[in-house]
Amino acid sequence: MSKLVTIYGGSGFVGRYVARRMAKEGWRVRVAVRRPNEAMFVKPYGVVGQVEPILCNIRDDASVAAAMSGADAVINCVGILAEAGKNKFDTVQAEGAERVARLAAAEGVSRLVQLSAIGANTESDSEYARTKALGEAGVLKHMPDAMILRPSIVFGAEDGFFNRFAGMARFGPVLPVVGADTLFQPVYVDDVAQAAVLGATGKAAGGVYELGGPDVSTFRELMGQMLGVIRRRRLVLNIPFWAASIMGFVFDMTHTVSFGLIPAQITCDQVRNLRNDNIVSEGAKGLADLGIKATALEAVLPDYLWRFRPSGQYDTIKESAVKMRAQE
């Protein structure tokens, strides 16, 4: 019988790529999510019955244990960028990650992969970064041979980074950003998925790996590259951290008083996180140590950002027509 992997958050941005790769490896894949009815798109990743979404709440012991029953490997991709309702940084990223590892150890699961983030630090003033570090510690406490993956900003067709700013660039001549000089090392989502699969299948050793792409760029430079791809000219305006902190406070309060109905465009915690560079540490193990060649940003961005161009899919055709008329 094929081996079984449980992927917590397996329908999310990174999780779906991990699920697809595990299915291609011949594993049975159990996708543990809060809303399985919204995760049916993962079923065609394998043959009939190979990939199945199931209900799971990472905040509940019984739910997590049931999801990993009989699993040979576990991958935890659950994480949040902002708190909402009962999903708090502590309960999801710290307690949730430790719960998965504790129950995996009790179940006798042989391998565990934890998706963390570059910048994870128990001393950080960002709750996101602090709880990511606490989650790592909780995982290693129960499963010391686990693989911890710390990616920088992850990009790909479904990302919430380049898609968001490309969408914003369609309106008005100015593109506002917070932390324009902060450094990032964007990593392709399928490279992260490949790393996770190597750990889950036992083809790579456990330990902490920091994952970044081949290039390091400032936030402003990334926006310039994105604008070039979507063929729009915009002024990238840096919002000072003091002003962004005020904005974050207002958005946080609006989100709270609306009982979560109005999402925060930026939070105070995100502003604190943007003060720090998001790049691979010197001497850290990374993609190269896993035998993975990092995918360049320019090789992927045009494949999914074309829809934000002034004429969408017809933009290239119009450019070609203009060039042909110029040659006549």
Q: Could you give the CA distance from residue 122 to residue 129 in angstroms, rounded to a whole number?
A: 7
Q: Which domain holds residue 67?
A: 4-155+186-211+279-292
Is 200 part of any domain? yes
Number of domains in the chain: 1
Q: Which residues of 258-281 are buried (b: 16+ CB within 10 A; e: fewer)?
A: eeeeeebebbbbbbbbbebbbbbe
The answer to pTM > 0.75 is yes
Q: Residue type for 326, please?
A: A
> Which three-class secondary structure state does DSSP give residue 149?
strand
* Res 305: pLDDT: 96
Q: Could you give the CA distance from residue 229 to residue 218 in angstroms, rounded to a whole number?
A: 17
Is 59 part of any domain? yes
Portion of the chain with pLDDT greater than 90, in percent:
87
Is 22 part of any domain? yes
Is 221 part of any domain? no
Is 217 part of any domain? no
Is 324 part of any domain? no
CA-based nearest residue to 269, from 124, 115, 91, 122: 124
Check pLDDT > 60 for residue 214: yes
- For 29-81, the pLDDT digits (tens) are 999 999 999 999 999 999 999 999 999 999 999 999 999 999 999 999 999 98
Q: Kindly report the CATH number assigned to the domain that includes residue 96.
A: 3.40.50.720
Is 96 part of any domain? yes
> Which three-class secondary structure state does DSSP give residue 12?
coil
Residue 78, φ and ψ in degrees, nearest 5:
-75, 130
Is 312 part of any domain? no
| pLDDT top residue among 324 and 139 | 139
Contact of 303 with 188, CB cutoff 8 Å: no
- For 256-310, the pLDDT digits (tens) are 888 778 888 899 999 999 999 999 999 999 999 999 999 999 999 999 999 999 8
Q: If residue 113 lies in a helix (H) or strand (E), which one and from where to where?
A: strand 111-115
Query: Which residue in the block uniquely carries the two structure tokens 């399928």?
Result: 190
